[in-house]
Amino acid sequence: MSERIIHVGLDIGTTKIVAVIAATEPRTRTLEILGKGVAVSTGLSRGVVTNIQKTADAIRLAVDQASTQSGIEISRVSIGIAGDHVQDFTTRSIVTVSSPTREISHDDVQRVLEDARRVPIGPERQILHAIPQDYMIDGQSGITDPIGMSGSRLEANVLIITGAATAIHNMTLCVERAGLQIENIVLQPLASGLAVLDEGEREIGVALVDIGGGTTDIAIFKDGILRSTSIFSIAGQKVTDDIGQMLGIMKQDAERIKLQYGHAVSNSIMRNDTFQVPGVGGRSPKEVSKSILCQIIEPRMEEIFEFAMQELMKSKLFHHLSAGVVITGGCSLLSGADELAQRVFAMHVKIGIPGGFAVRGMAQEVSSPVFATAVGLIHYAVQRDAESLNTLSMSTSTINQPSESTDTPAASSEQRKNKAGIITRLRTWLEDL
């Protein structure tokens, strides 16, 4: 039986930090959730770090909770990144096919993507992802998988996603100060999409709207590929701020009331119950009804969906969303949020729940939109493992074939011994799978 591989997803959000630990078997790629941790976040604003120490402390707290539940010591994590500093654009790259037979290989595809990453973006920006949209071989366009095809010139249209280098560096510092190493840095809506969207939705066209605490993240998928992404800084924290200001209460009380009594539309209120609002500065508590609270929440939620609608229209893919819109994130849990979204988008809307893991373990505990990004980060790490394994598998056919030695006369015997050891371990690992 293959040894299980442990992955950790760390969602560093504006209002909370979520850590999820999962194990996967390389043979089945089935996830088993082993532990989770949630900590209040006070060191970020709109997805960007404003206090490194506070953020590092909250990361450590969330990770320690997940580690205690799972009984596993955590050292490496995959993190998500968002914020209105994230931008995307499309570029085209071109390479000459290297094989004398003109058969396009995995290496040729990697070279064309590496060429796309060389696009000038300035020192203040950092590339997060280079996602191929389609390929062209000797003028023939619309190719989705060029490997094995014949040609002399390979071109690719590539979606480049960048972030502010300073914001990414500060996020990295927080994780390192918490005593952890970073395995992957992933765009949050891309990660969330892997957790809450199935292959069919991503194939026929779907928009994901992830309403977090500090930002609302949008990702559009078509033909199984991320086609467009955008992020804006109106999200769940604005809803909480509205409640606090209108009712004259502390932020933590406003957040609790939002989650416990909040409705996005009045139609979803079955019983117009009242609840107590704590007084501030010695003032007496007062009673507020759910309908009054809804009158505070609904305009802001409607504004969030309207902004999301504008972003979808900008992408020019709005009329290709055959699967409609999927909303996720903490604010999607507000009663009637999907009904309000359907009214604004005028298309089918559903709430996205993380999936793709075994029912055993702690699956039920993370089956909430709150954990969408953290679970998606694990899916991303598993997917990267599978891609790496596939690349290694393709290269094993040359291991036992005689070839010209690449060692120079000055190469030491110790280097040759290490090289042989790597090949032996690789062969053993692949046979075990």
DSSP label at residue 268:
G
The string of pLDDT tens digits covering residues 161-207 is 999 999 999 999 999 999 999 999 999 999 999 999 999 999 999 99
Q: Which residues does 283 contact at the CB level (< 8 Å), separation at least 6?
A: none
Domain 87-163 in CATH 3.30.1490.110: yes
- Sequence spans of domains, the chain: 87-163, 198-351
The string of pLDDT tens digits covering residues 116-173 is 999 999 999 999 999 999 999 999 999 999 999 999 999 999 999 999 999 999 999 9
Higher pLDDT, 106 or 2: 106
The string of pLDDT tens digits covering residues 11-67 is 999 999 999 999 987 676 678 999 999 999 999 998 999 999 999 999 999 999 999
Q: Which tokens belong to 24?
A: 């996967």
Backbone angles phi, psi at 178, to 5 degrees: -80, 5
Domain 198-351 CATH (choose: 3.40.190.10, 3.30.70.270, 3.30.420.40, 3.90.1300.10): 3.30.420.40
Beta strands in 41-120 (DSSP E): 44-45, 48-49, 76-81, 87-96
> Residue 6 and residue 24: Cα distance in Å, rounded?
7
User: Apex CA 23: angle with CA 383 and CA 77, to 5°?
Assistant: 70
pLDDT of residue 426: 43
Mean pLDDT of 395-417: 43
> Residue 93 and residue 217: Cα distance in Å, rounded?
28
- How many CA atoms lie within 13 Å of 249's alpha carbon, on the beta-carbon side? 24
Nearest to 262, CA basis, from 331, 213, 308: 331
Q: Which tokens belong to 211?
A: 């309403």
Asked if 87-163 and 198-351 have one fold, the answer is no
Looking at the chain, the whole-number percentage of residues with pLDDT higher than 70 is 88
pTM for this entry: 0.87
